[in-house]
Amino acid sequence: MANPSLKPQRKRAFSVANLPGFTTIAIVAFVALYLPIITLAAYSFNASQSVAVWGGFSLDWYAKAWANDQVKDATVRSLIIAVSASLIATAVATMAALGTTRRRSFKGQTFIYVVINQPLMVPEIVSAVALLIFFSSIKVATGYTGLGYLIIAHAAFCIPFAYLPIRARLEGMDLSLETAAADLYATPWQTFRKVTLPILAPGVMAGAMLAFVISLDDVVITEFVKSGGQDTLPTYMLGQMRRQLTPEINAISSMLLALTVVLLTLFFLLTRKNDQ
């Protein structure tokens, strides 16, 4: 008789990922992450006033949110800030990524990484307080109270989010492509325009989208830096919830969620390894 231990048991490739329990933990984590979000989205279609008791299907809360001028204002403001801040952050991050990957390692390189990634490491509340104090002295000195402060503050904390995907893309780029461009009579500027930037483009787009989403979603720094009447969508929602909780908040959240999902999906498509 054949050795029983050599009999094929079950068709399952040898893999660490097949360890028992992994699947269970993954499912629990998945439920914990997505159940609240699904509930939130579901209750945005609730016909009753409550955010906890189901009263039938309706689109009333969407209509209400849509007609609310404060929501409209806050949305427009959020978009202006997010677009401007992500553009600024992406430009700065692109230059920073070029500067940090296109040279042999140099003294102070670690220091520069820390500086660029500061917003990821310093607690947001600390940055918020610091910005509040800093900007209020400028407000006093200049008298300017526009959206500029929020845009600059958002751009600052968005830089590391834009920087990381751009740097990853740059590090994966074959440097001999630039050498080849120079060999084929391209000036340094032409090399950047015709070779570096097009190859970098998915990374830049991904960085910009991530920065946009991060800016759109910010509460803490916005709450501290904004002047009166400068509510963004998240700070408006926070203010509303202090007064009363209606499914209108769910509706706004769901729309924000939908936008974020679309952008993040694009982000993942762009940063996929096997692009082009």
Partner 1 sequence: MNEKAANEKAVIQKNAIEARNIVKTFGVGQAAARALDDVTVEIRQGEFFTLLGPSGCGKTTLLRLIAGFEMPTEGTILLDGQDITYLPPNKRPVNTVFQSYALFPHLTVAQNVGFGLEMQGRPKAEVNDTVARMLALVKLEPLAHRKTNQLSGGQQQRVALARALAPSPKVLLLDEPLSALDLKLRKEMQIELKRLQVETGITFVFVTHDQEEALTMSDRVGVMSQGKLQQVGSPKDIYTKPVNRFVASFIGETNFIAARAEAGKVHLATGDTIDIAGLSAGGNVTVTIRPEQLRLVDKTETGAMRATVKSLVYFGTDTHCYLSLTDGSEVVARLQSPASGDAGLTPGQSVGLRAVPGAAQIVLD
CA end-to-end span of the chain: 55
- Measured CA to CA, the distance from residue 98 to residue 79 in angstroms comes to 28
Window contacting partner 1 (CB under 8 A); options: 90-98, 173-181, 233-241, 262-270? 173-181
Nearer residue to partner 1 within complex by CB, 106 or 111: 106
**Are 222 and 2 within 8 A, CB to CB?**
no
Residue choice 18, 70, 109, 187 for contact with partner 1 (CB under 8 A) = 187
Q: Does 184 participate in binding partner 1 (rule CB under 8 A)?
A: yes
Applying CB under 8 A, does 105 fall inside the site for partner 1?
no
**Which residue of 98, 199, 219, 259 would you call a contact of partner 1, by CB under 8 A?**
199
Residue that the structure tokens 């231990």 belong to:
5
* Count of residues that interact with partner 1, criterion CB under 8 A: 18
Nearest one of 41, 75, 90 to 261, comparing CA atoms = 41
181 binds partner 1, rule: CB under 8 A: yes
CA atoms within 13 A on the CB side of 82: 26
Does 185 sit near partner 1 (CB under 8 A)? yes
- Choosing from 3, 5, 176, 244, the residue that interacts with partner 1 (CB under 8 A) is 176
Give 41's contacts (C-beta < 8 A, 6+ positions apart).
250, 254, 257
Shortest Cβ 183–partner 1 spacing (Å): 5
Q: Is 107 in the site for partner 1 (CB under 8 A)?
A: no
- Give dist(CA 83, CA 77) in Å, integer: 10
Of the candidate spans 39-47, 110-118, 181-189, 252-260, the one that interacts with partner 1 by CB under 8 A turns out to be 181-189
269 contributes a contact to partner 1 by CB under 8 A? no
Of the candidates 13, 105, 183, 229, which one interacts with partner 1 according to CB under 8 A?
Answer: 183
Q: What is the dihedral of CA 31, 36, 38, 44, to 10 degrees?
A: 170
Nearer to partner 1, 122 or 184 (CB): 184
Q: Which of 31, 177, 258, 262 is in the footprint of partner 1 by CB under 8 A?
A: 177
Q: Which of 170, 173, 195 is nearest to 184 (CA)?
A: 195
Of 248, 144, 162, 142, whose CA–CA distance to 206 is shortest? Answer: 162
69 part of the interface to partner 1, by CB under 8 A: no
Give the footprint of partner 1 on this chain (CB under 8 A).
Answer: 174, 176-177, 179-187, 190, 194-195, 198-199, 276
